[in-house]
Amino acid sequence: MAKVTVHRKAHFNAAHRLYNADWSDARNATVFGKCANPHYHGHNYELIVAVKGDINPVTGFVMDMKILKDLIAHEIEDKFDHKNLNEEVFEFKELNPTAENIVVVIWNILRAKIDTKLQLSITLYETPRNFVTYSGN
């Protein structure tokens, strides 16, 4: 059976601040640079959700893309778009909202909603040149 990966792109704008509460402002500024700005700043995040699996012989789909689109819209875009990640998204109350941590949070949310027979991989662009990937291990 041919395994195919289907991809869906999505987008959200969000604000964050990177800092370690145990550190001084100076040390935070040294480690996190502009991202430590106490007044927050925004990014245009680009998300690519990749789902890999067998082609269903009945539908010809790996996963119905409309279902995937709606899942991303409801579970990720509604939760993250135009939000202050530190202040408004509970997963980041105690967790630094770096791209690395955001991609793991997104993966965990979507993994719980997608058939376990399908492999899930997430790519998150924080800037056009900086991006992270996570596949659950």
Residues with active-site annotation: 35, 82, 126
Q: Which residues pair with 83 in a beta bridge?
A: 14
Q: Which residue is nearest to Ni ion (CB)?
A: 35
Instruction: Report how far residue 86's alpha carbon sits from residue 42's, in angstroms, rounded to the nearest whole number.
Output: 12
Minimum CB separation of residue 70 from Ni ion in Å reads 29
Shortest separation between residue 103's beta carbon and Ni ion, angstroms? 14
Q: How far is the CB of 81 from Ni ion (least distance, A)?
A: 16
13 to 42: interface string for Ni ion, x by CB under 5 A: ----------------------x-------
Q: Residue 57 is encoded by which pair of tokens? A: 């012989």
Strand partners, 12: 45
- Give the chain's end-to-end CA distance (angstroms, integer): 25
Q: Is 85 in the site for Ni ion (CB under 5 A)?
A: no
Residue type, 99: A
Q: Which residues bind Ni ion (CB under 5 A)?
A: 35
